[in-house]
Structure 1
């Protein structure tokens, strides 16, 4: 019939999606296909919620199932591959480093406290609550007790998880999971699984130091001891400050950092001169302008080649790495940045920005290690002390940095070194830079690995100790500050100072000796060009900008402050 006018909003009645089973299944398949062709995250969430309301997900899971000793595909995974792909994209957009082989959706599910004892104990569960005020993915171990707490209204939950398949997932199944957008954890790869009785126990020695207790440490606190009260001296006399106000007066330090600079191409296009501050780029922005980043990605891949052993499917080397009981299996990701270009030309806008891609290990997923992760870096007071000495002696100031320092750090020289198997980013496969299902065994340190700084520091200092200083000079490492190296002449007089911050070197001394020390270091490692502080050339070290005006040296963080304000 003809409708003469629109129904008033107050009279509109919302009804749940009510379709016949065949129509509902067709709707789910077609709507998922459209979304995959033209992705919209919130439309994907809306689809999941609609299908859950229509009970599409009842008795359906998508991915691997296990019952007793049997492992296989769920029927829904085979019948609705695009629905599975949509759900995988939803999870990975919220938690890019998630790993899973199955997904289920629950509507108004009430579960008491339980453990998921059939799930892989080395993997996590990833819970997405659809349509909440603040979307987030909750990650937790399946072996820890968990339950569903009370809520109001209706609630749709999506859970990505990994059933323990006990080594029965074949390489073909791994490939099919990846084709659907799933990310199987390394612990489910066929080469990895070993029966527990075959695993050698790992013994970690712990040094326990006993300290003698002093009597004063054991003196009990008197019952009438109380915290001091605080008073303010005002015109009308002394006023007691309330405990709440006292708490507010306690000194606190807070730090805020921006994860990504949004709309980075707009930032680049709006520059009036060469970039001065490094910006971290949102991966979504980088993917939207992938052609601008391909050269930087390929360059980084060539750089890390020396640090990895490519582990291809079916090779004995891959099996040996994965079955090492000490191996840690970690994901990797790409970090996109734009950086100041030291060779920028004012007349050439293309040189104002340098695009940099770095492949990093997701070290936050690493298990606790027994090796100490502490490594000393040059403290700011040591830098100021060195500059005071340089000013007093009339020395020059030089800066160099080691190129790709961590990639020059061998892993495995010491017995306690970590054994790392890394999963490269999928984007590298799409760019034909790696093979399907390729893994990497780390033979050198990569950025992001928690042990990389201490491994590099150990390797660097060993090589520094072995270096032959310029003729007539001796080089001694500081005892109180180990990143301070004194260079003394034959009479023992201090002739130069080298300060090290990770892979950055601050060299203080006469110009000729600075060049000789630089040559010594460059015989061991590739470095940046030596940069000498002058009125025309400011230098940076330890996040500080060093400038020279006449005979005075200045330290500042002007670029960082300007970026903040």
Structure 2
């Protein structure tokens, strides 16, 4: 966990998320907390541990230091339509992850936070963090991230789908690319490898990205490739629930009620 915490602080400092200032009179800095989570592989095993520095945004005042709030997630119907398209046209589905996505939003409101314990700047221990960019936990963080991502995509030739504003399409003479955004995860499909590569290169030049190659898990849904197409299932999630409730040794019976979603040619 220590390595995960250090990586998070390094990302925040590299991103210039805050500047150290003396706390203005009449202002009270917000506190923070650490949240830890495990990123899982397609088979349900642990990929890596991740630490997030989260400001106590529940102490923010609406109309004073935040206004609009919302979260950017592609509709499940859009996801299924895109995956069905990949099957019909024999396309590949790639996946990318934005590291510390919420740190990219440009903050307009004046918000102060305590320096993280153990990471106070030498000689400036009495100062506080004045946020310049967004941070996890802020009420407006998801909205600011989506605004930044929108701007980058539109400036690079993409258009926003009229039916789902978290689906982006770039249609050129060389081919097309479709991107589905799920907060900080994204699926990318294209009419050719070069179209996908150019999109990845564009995103890497603008954000701190992790290229996950061919997609295998998105939002807890496992993507299996077969000769006939794609199969979506949550078998590893079911196994996790059974393990949690000590029901892993129960007998198995067939059920006509549930079948994995499949897209066949």
Q: Which residue does 1:420 correspond to in 2?
A: 111
Distance 2:214 2:72 in 1: 25
Q: Which residue does 1:524 correspond to in 2?
A: 206
- CA-CA distance at 1:526 after TM superposition: 2.3
Distance 2:232 2:41 in 1: 21
**TM-score when scaled to structure 1?**
0.39
Q: Secondary structure at the match of 2:8?
A: helix
Q: Secondary structure at the match of 2:87?
A: helix
Does the 8 Å CA contact 2:153/2:159 hold for their aligned counterparts? no
RMSD value over aligned CA atoms? 2.7
- CA-CA distance at 1:361 after TM superposition: 0.6
Change (3 A) 1:301 1:399: same
Change (3 A) 1:461 1:353: closer
Q: Secondary structure at the match of 1:456?
A: helix
Q: Which residue does 1:452 correspond to in 2?
A: 141
Distance 1:433 1:296 in 2: 22
After superposition, the C-alpha distances for 1:18-42 in whole angstroms (9 at most, x for unaligned) are xxxxxxxxxxxxxxxxxxxxxxxxx
| Residues 1:380 and 2:80 aligned together | no
Distance 2:51 2:122 in 1: 15
| Residues 1:463 and 2:156 aligned together | no
| Residues 1:555 and 2:238 aligned together | no
Does the 8 Å CA contact 1:400/1:528 hold for their aligned counterparts? yes
Q: Secondary structure at the match of 2:162?
A: coil
Task: Name the one with the larger strand percent.
Answer: 2
| Residues 1:482 and 2:169 aligned together | no
Does the 8 Å CA contact 2:222/2:233 hold for their aligned counterparts? yes
- CA-CA distance at 1:334 after TM superposition: 1.2
- CA-CA distance at 1:390 after TM superposition: 1.3
Does the 8 Å CA contact 1:328/1:420 hold for their aligned counterparts? no
- CA-CA distance at 1:446 after TM superposition: 0.9
After superposition, the C-alpha distances for 1:73-120 in whole angstroms (9 at most, x for unaligned) are xxxxxxxxxxxxxxxxxxxxxxxxxxxxxxxxxxxxxxxxxxxxxxxx
- CA-CA distance at 1:400 after TM superposition: 0.7
Distance 2:200 2:54 in 1: 29
**TM-score when scaled to structure 2?**
0.78
Change (3 A) 1:328 1:396: farther
Distance 1:353 1:520 in 2: 26
Change (3 A) 1:519 1:559: same
| Residues 1:436 and 2:125 aligned together | yes
Which of structure 1's runs of 4+ aligned residues deviate more than 6 A? none
| Residues 1:411 and 2:111 aligned together | no
Distance 2:88 2:105 in 1: 37
Q: Secondary structure at the match of 2:73?
A: coil
Larger Rg: 1
> What count of residue pairs does the alignment treat as equivalent?
235
